[in-house]
Homo-oligomer: A and B are copies of this chain.
Amino acid sequence: MKITRGGRLEGDLTKEISEFISSFQHDIYIAREVIEINLAHLLCLMDIGIISKEEGKEIAKVLLEMHIDNIPPDMEDIHMVVESELIKRLGEIGEKLHTGKSRNDQVATAIRMRLRKFIIEICKNIINLQEIIIRKAELYKNSIMPGFTHLQHAQPISIAHYLIAYFDMFNRSFERIISSYRRVNLSPMGAAALAGTGYKIDRMKIAEYLGFDGLVENTLDAVSTRDFSLEVASNLVILMLDISRLAEEIIIWATKEFNYIELPDEHSSTSSIMPQKKNPVTAEILRAKCGEIIGELVSMLTIMKALPLTYNLDMQELTPHLWRACEISSKSISILSDLIAKVKFNEKRMMNAVIDSSSVATELADMLVRNYNIPFRTSHRIVGEIIKEIYPTSLSKIDPEIVSEMIYKKIGIKPEVKLIEKALDPWHNINVREVIGGPSPLEIERMINSRLQIINSNRKLMESIEEKLMNGLKKLREEINYLF
């Protein structure tokens, strides 16, 4: 930690303190980005004559050769590693590169660059997951299952209907994350320590070299805000919450009692002692990861609370939690995708579950409203009573004639048996719910098609984002190459 201490402070730090205040363990995430920033900054310093062409060439050479895969704990951070290597190799020339920039703007820039990569990776993973879900939905388009509220059978739906719900949830996550991208992809460079650099450095040019879409304009703001991290982390937490809901259902559905799904062996493990076990281990970890990431977010939020402007070292401790949140999310989507791709639904069992319960009750009540003009609340009460009386038999298993009779006794109206029969048929239940977004096969068909289009447009969006990003960095490489 000698480079910067020299002038102002006595002695050096103990090993324990060095490690305590250093970001060495996590700066490896931004090592490549820091090199790129230094290259871009180099070009700008050459533009304004602080560094000569000859010097620039030497510096660029060293930077391009640098491969940092480990940061020693006695180094304050990655920035010092780069600078000290430059000085070691080039002497005075190496001492020139840190002109007109500070670690404060540099680290903010590097975090944004690394984060945008994670965003792109995660968004592409989401699209992949969406595709797997929608393919599965196509496969189970004609499979009836019980829809649940309060984990109790509610009304018949189809497996496709259910899967599309998750598609849509994940699509909102995609929307949220990608809408944060444009607040992430802004360049702080040129803000220097906080007050902006006094050199005539072109902030727009360095931003462009680094693939940014614009600037974090106010220089104080540029070095002191981490709201972009909090925003992305919050979005990831919501994504993981939805994953935890799906994981919970997988765990419940994989029980002996539910037996709604056949878990792939590749996502199961057994017990060290109980040989019969087939445990839904990936689903459990997915559920736990949601708990973890909520904590990561809380760490980040709490670290930032009440920090005065501008930079404080506290902010260094925020970043590892951001990386962890990104990795948790990215891996979880990937594992979940594989799980969904391989899971099998026990269609027969699910259909039987529908028949065994009385989830057609609402339709029976609706039928009375439609055909006999009975007010819904009355009709609801009558059907409730019938269910209680026939318990534990289910509505779908009782003779429609008897149901008709029971209704007659209650209200003096005897509904047609045909109508009752239809109302108690799960398929009719689904077909009749042809409202937009409902379970009717026609509507499911339409929804699947529109979701396939969404996947397409999400893909195109990602391509255009990546292309834009690459163009900047490509230009940087080219101009660096011109030096040689």
- B291 & A314 in contact (Cβ 8 Å cutoff): yes
- A219 & B437 in contact (Cβ 8 Å cutoff): yes
What chain B residues lie within 8 Å of A437 (beta carbons)? 190-191, 196, 203, 215-219, 221-222
Interface residues in A256-299 (C-beta closer than 8 Å to B): 256-259, 265-282, 284-285, 287-299
In the assembled complex, the Cα of A248 lies from the Cα of B314 at a distance in Å of: 11
Contact of A269 among B1, B258, B273 (CB under 8 A): B1
A194-B154, A289-B317 known; A276+B306 contact, CB < 8 A: no
Report the nearest B residue to A149, measured CB to CB. Answer: B311
State how many angstroms separate the Cβ of A115 from the closest Cβ of chain B.
15
In the assembled complex, the Cα of A308 lies from the Cα of B254 at a distance in Å of: 14
Interface centre among A20, A183, A271, A305 (most CB of B within 10 A): A271
What chain B residues lie within 8 Å of A268 (beta carbons)? 9
- B294 & A313 in contact (Cβ 8 Å cutoff): no
For the A-B complex with A151-B254, A195-B429 known, give 19 more contacts whose Cβ atoms are closer than 8 Å: A5-B270, A7-B381, A7-B383, A16-B338, A92-B378, A96-B376, A149-B311, A150-B313, A155-B194, A197-B433, A245-B306, A270-B384, A275-B382, A276-B383, A276-B387, A288-B316, A290-B306, A291-B299, A292-B321
- A436 & B190 in contact (Cβ 8 Å cutoff): yes
A79 adjacent to chain B (CB < 8 Å): yes
What chain B residues lie within 8 Å of A143 (beta carbons)? none
What chain B residues lie within 8 Å of A300 (beta carbons)? 291, 295
What chain B residues lie within 8 Å of A222 (beta carbons)? 437
A313-B279, A437-B190 known; A321+B294 contact, CB < 8 A: no
- B270 & A9 in contact (Cβ 8 Å cutoff): yes
A462 adjacent to chain B (CB < 8 Å): no
A83 adjacent to chain B (CB < 8 Å): yes
A8-B277, A437-B196 known; A299+B307 contact, CB < 8 A: no
Interface residues in A343-380 (C-beta closer than 8 Å to B): 353, 356-359, 361-363, 365-366, 369-370, 375-378, 380
Report the nearest B residue to A339, measured CB to CB. Answer: B17
Copies in the complex: 4
In the assembled complex, the Cα of A127 lies from the Cα of B382 at a distance in Å of: 43
- A306 & B287 in contact (Cβ 8 Å cutoff): yes
A89 adjacent to chain B (CB < 8 Å): no
* Interface pick from A27-35, A60-68, A161-169, A474-482: A161-169
- B195 & A154 in contact (Cβ 8 Å cutoff): yes
What chain B residues lie within 8 Å of A430 (beta carbons)? 195
- A270 & B7 in contact (Cβ 8 Å cutoff): yes
A251 adjacent to chain B (CB < 8 Å): yes
What chain B residues lie within 8 Å of A353 (beta carbons)? 256-257
What chain B residues lie within 8 Å of A256 (beta carbons)? 152-153, 353, 356-357
A132 adjacent to chain B (CB < 8 Å): no
In the assembled complex, the Cα of A21 lies from the Cα of B436 at a distance in Å of: 32
A288-B313, A357-B256 known; A272+B436 contact, CB < 8 A: no
State how many angstroms separate the Cβ of A107 from the closest Cβ of chain B.
10
A156 adjacent to chain B (CB < 8 Å): yes
A310 adjacent to chain B (CB < 8 Å): yes
- A195 & B148 in contact (Cβ 8 Å cutoff): no
Contact of A98 among B76, B266, B272 (CB under 8 A): B272
A231 adjacent to chain B (CB < 8 Å): yes
- B294 & A17 in contact (Cβ 8 Å cutoff): no
In the assembled complex, the Cα of A76 lies from the Cα of B272 at a distance in Å of: 11
State how many angstroms separate the Cβ of A479 from the closest Cβ of chain B.
21
A157-B195, A295-B302 known; A275+B220 contact, CB < 8 A: no
What chain B residues lie within 8 Å of A200 (beta carbons)? 435
- B265 & A284 in contact (Cβ 8 Å cutoff): no
- B380 & A102 in contact (Cβ 8 Å cutoff): no
- A20 & B314 in contact (Cβ 8 Å cutoff): no
A412 adjacent to chain B (CB < 8 Å): no
A247 adjacent to chain B (CB < 8 Å): yes
